[in-house]
Amino acid sequence: MPDMSASASLAMTHLVSFAKEVDEDKVTPGVLGFIVFAAMALAVWALMKSMNRHMNRVDFTQVPDPKAEQAEPARTESAEAEPSAQSGKKQG
């Protein structure tokens, strides 16, 4: 383990000596497993709290597109003109 820092090496030495005191017939995650799990749980909790804060700041109201509003009256006028032209053809 040449890439480990001195503090990590010291921590591993203490954890390994603690692991030797435990019954070798039992397989448990141990203190290190609990610490890692607790740290991950705290990180997830903090991320969820941050995400909730950011989602509350988002404004979900959609601004209407001005191009769509201009095109809409033109469609309704052409749609109204077509039935009258067709009804005129049927009568004549």
pLDDT at residue 1, as a whole number: 45
What tokens does 72 get?
């809409």
Under 8 Å between Cβ of 32 and 15:
yes
What tokens does 14 get?
């203490």
- Residue 13: pLDDT over 80: no
In angstroms, the CA 17 to CA 51 distance is: 41
Q: What is the pLDDT of residues 25-80, one digit of tens each?
A: 777 888 999 999 999 999 999 999 999 999 999 887 888 888 877 766 656 555 55
Residue 75 is inside which H or E element, if any? helix 66-91
pLDDT at residue 63, as a whole number: 81
In angstroms, the CA 67 to CA 74 distance is: 12
Which pLDDT band holds residue 83 (cuts at 50, 70, 90)? low
pTM of the predicted model as reported, rounded to 2 decimal places: 0.40
- How many Å separate Cα 17 from the centre of its chain? 41
